Amino acid sequence: MREKLGPLEDVACNKVNCKKIATRWPDVCGWPGRSSPTRSAPTTCCRMFGREGHPTPLGAAFAEYGRIDKTMHLLALVDPVDDTYRRLMNRQLTVQESRHRLARAICHGGRGQIRQAYREGQEDQLAALGLVLNAVVLWNTRYLDAAVVRLRSEGHDIKDEDVARLSPLKDRHINFLGRYLFNLAASGPGQDLRPFRDPNATEDGDEE
């Protein structure tokens, strides 16, 4: 007879079939080494996990093994005592949402939409978007690091846990319009940084 699970009784509808995992366990453990891109095409991998809409024994073993990880995830998520896992998830979601928002800001010309008609054109547009997004993150990371070093050199108490919360996925200081000239031959990549803005100075267009 199944043990009662208290408040989780209504949602605990199934249980893991450990026999399916144990039967194919050697194949499950050896799959990562055999599924490298140079050895197996995606279509070959798909055929290994299912045929004609039904899972193969190996696919069923992976499905049951995945249910274990999913169960652990749900239990940690609903834990009423320790909310560390929920906080970690929220932090990761915030990072992903910030990345998507920055990508939409960069892709302003098409309102964040991929408009190329063919797959090659879509891949080129996505690759260009990823390149520019990574450049923005790199730029922000270098200047955040330089700002922290400068503040610490001036005697400010900058805690490591506060630095860990800084995000390079910001764009209010970036102009996404116009043309840009990159003259790497002048100083070489990764050399002189632009001077920091004086927070007490009035920028052009600001009211006195």
What is the token pair recorded at 160? 């490591």
Structure tokens at 56: 């193969």
- What Rg, from alpha-carbon coordinates, does the chain have? 26
Question: Could you give the CA distance from residue 100 to residue 207 in angstroms, rounded to a whole number?
Answer: 33
Does residue 123 contact residue 169 with C-beta atoms inside 8 Å?
Answer: no
Average pLDDT, the chain: 78
Residue 9 has pLDDT above 60, yes or no: yes
Listed in sequence order, the residues at least 6 apart from 105 whose beta carbon sits closer than 8 Å to its beta carbon are 171, 176
SS3 content of the chain, % helix, strand, coil (to 5): 55, 0, 40
Q: What is the DSSP letter of 196?
A: P
Q: Alpha carbon of 188 to those of 81, 133, 180: distances in Å? A: 53, 21, 17
pLDDT of residue 137: 92
> Higher pLDDT residue, 47 or 100?
100
174-190 per-position pLDDT tens digit: 887 777 776 666 555 55
What confidence tier does 1 reach under pLDDT thresholds 50, 70, 90? Answer: very low
Ranges 12-21, 90-99, 119-128, 195-204: which has the least confidence: 195-204
AA identity, residue 3: E
DSSP strand E in the chain: where? Answer: 50-51, 54-55
Q: Is the pTM of this model over 0.75?
A: no
Q: What pLDDT score was predicted for residue 145?
A: 92
Q: How far apart are CA 191 and CA 176, in angstroms?
A: 23
**pLDDT tens sequence across 71-107:** 888 888 888 788 888 888 887 778 888 888 888 888 8
Domain ranges of the chain: 7-77, 84-175
Q: Please provide residue 52's backbone torsions phi and psi, each rounded to the nearest 5 degrees.
A: 55, 40
